[in-house]
Structure 1
Amino acid sequence: MKAQTMKAATAAKKLGILLSAAPEDFRDREISRTELDELNANPPAWLVDLRADGPHPRDIVARKLGVSNSGLARGGVTEPLTTAEIKALLAEPPAWLVAERATQAQVRAENARVKQRNAERAAARD
């Protein structure tokens, strides 16, 4: 039986790293599920460094900044950011980041309200 493999881009996404920042021998081949599990269990130095210092993919940048991917785009952030760049933005947030974080907080609050309402309705039915 042949081992399941995935493209390097899929493996990079699952590892939470930017594919273009990964070593060439990772980028240029298929990755098996076993290899992926091993990378997660015992990450090599390059993976530890990438996860710690970046550059980070959009979804990780958005999460670290506390905004949505769309919020990053509205803020004009189109390139991957390093951990140092993210920390600098958080230390002195520009107006767009303050506004997007407020929007994200409102979305979370609304989602929590709807979830609570639905739970109350379900409890009332039972």
Structure 2
Amino acid sequence: MKAQTMKAATAAKKLGIYLPAAPEDFRDREISRTELDALVAEPPAWLQELRADGPHPRDVVARKLGVSNSGLARGGITEALTTAQIKDLLADPPEWLVAERATQAAVRAENARVKQRDAERAARRAAEER
């Protein structure tokens, strides 16, 4: 039976790394599930360094900045950023970052409110059915 493999881009996404910054021997081949599991269990130095210092893919950058991927785009961030660049943005946030973080906080608060409301409704329905 042939081992299941995935494209390097898929493996990079699962590892949370920016593919163009990965070593060439990782980028230019299929990665087996066994290899991926080994990389997760015992990350080599290059993977540890990429995760710690970057450059990071957009979804990781957005998460570290506390904004959505769309907010990142609205802020004009289209490239991968390093950890140092992210820390610089957080230390002296530009206006767009302050606004996007506020938007993200409002979205989270609204989602929590809706979840609470739905839980209360479900509890009431369950009590009425008894």
Identity %: 86
- Match of 2:109? 109
1:56 counterpart SS class = coil
Q: Which residues in structure 2 correspond to 1:1-126 (within 5 Å)? A: 1-126=1-126
1:93 counterpart SS class = coil
Shift of 1:38: 0.3
CA distance in 2, matches of 1:23, 1:104: 34
CA distance in 2, matches of 1:9, 1:83: 21
CA distance in 2, matches of 1:108, 1:63: 13
User: Whose Rg is larger?
Assistant: 2
Q: How many residues align?
A: 126
Query: What TM-score results when the alignment is normalised by the length of structure 1?
Result: 0.99
Equivalent position amino acid for 2:13 in 1: K
Contiguous gaps of at least 5 residues in structure 2: none
CA distance in 2, matches of 1:6, 1:78: 26
Instruction: Return structure 1 stretches of 4+ with deviation > 3 angstroms.
Output: none
Shift of 1:23: 0.2
1:80 counterpart SS class = coil
Q: Deviations over 1:41-88 (max 9, x none)?
A: 000000000000000000000000000000000000011000000000
